[in-house]
C-alpha cells in the first residue's frame, strides 16, 4: 500500500513539473528567457571587409553548401533567410551591417523545428563554414 502511495506522489510531482515547464504566450512570443546581450555575442562575428555584396553572395553560397534553400534575400537591407530540410527543419536568417570603416558584422539566428537555438556551438560551426567561403577570419565581437 505504501509503495502505491509513493508512486502516486511521484506522478503528482511529475505532473507539477510538466505544468511548470510550460511557457506563457508572452514568453514564447518575446523569448523572454534569453539574454539579448549574450545572444548577440554568440550569433555575431566581424569580418575584415566592407564589400556588402560579396559578403551576402558568400553567405548564400555557404548556405547552399550546407544544404539550405534560400527563402528570401535582400541586398539593400542585407538579409538572407534560408531553410534546410533533412528530416528536420532548420531555418536561419543572416543579416549583415557595417562596423566602423573596415569591418562588416555578420549575425545569424537559427530556429530548429519550433525552438530557438541558443547553444553557441552550432553558431561557431556556421561561422567556421563561412570563414572558408570568405577567406577571412571570423572575429568575436564583445
Partner 1 sequence: MLKKTITVLLLIALAGCQPAIPPEALELSPQTLEMRQMQTRYFDTKDEAMVLSASAALLQDMGFNIDESETKLGYILGTKDRDATDAGQIVGAVLVAALTGTVMPVDKSQKMRACIVTHPYGEQKDKIAVRVTFQRIVWNTQNQVSTKECLAQPEIYQEFFSKLSKSLFLEAQNI
- What is the contact surface with partner 1 in residues (CB under 8 A)? 4, 7-8, 10-11, 14-15, 17-18, 21, 53, 56-57, 60-61, 64-76, 80, 83-90, 110, 112-113, 115, 117, 119, 121-123, 125-126, 128-129, 132
In angstroms, give the least distance from the CB of 101 to partner 1: 23
In angstroms, give the least distance from the CB of 48 to partner 1: 21
User: What DSSP string runs through the chain?
Assistant: -HHHHHHHHHHHHHHHHHHHHPPPHHHHHHTTTS-HHHHHHHHEEEES---HHHHHHHHHHHHHHTT-EEEEEETTTTEEEEEEEESEEEEEEEEEEEETTTEEEEEEEEEETTEE---HHHHHHHHHHHHHHHTSPPEE--
Nearer to partner 1, 47 or 62 (CB): 62
Nearer to partner 1, 21 or 100 (CB): 21
In angstroms, give the least distance from the CB of 85 to partner 1: 4
Nearer to partner 1, 78 or 105 (CB): 78
Amino acid at each position: 500500500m505504501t509503495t502505491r502511495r509513493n508512486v502516486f506522489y511521484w506522478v503528482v510531482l511529475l505532473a507539477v513539473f510538466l505544468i511548470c515547464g510550460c511557457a506563457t504566450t508572452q514568453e514564447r512570443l518575446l523569448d523572454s528567457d534569453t539574454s539579448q546581450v549574450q545572444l548577440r555575442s554568440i550569433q555575431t562575428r566581424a569580418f575584415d571587409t566592407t564589400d556588402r555584396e560579396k559578403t551576402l553572395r558568400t553567405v548564400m553560397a555557404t548556405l547552399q553548401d550546407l544544404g539550405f534553400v534560400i527563402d528570401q534575400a535582400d541586398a539593400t537591407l542585407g538579409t538572407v533567410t534560408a531553410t534546410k530540410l533533412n528530416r528536420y527543419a532548420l531555418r536561419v536568417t543572416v543579416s549583415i551591417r557595417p562596423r566602423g570603416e573596415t569591418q562588416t558584422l555578420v549575425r545569424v539566428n537559427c530556429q530548429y523545428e519550433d525552438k530557438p537555438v541558443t547553444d553557441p556551438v552550432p553558431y561557431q560551426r556556421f561561422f567556421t563554414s563561412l570563414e572558408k567561403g570568405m577567406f577571412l577570419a571570423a572575429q568575436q565581437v564583445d
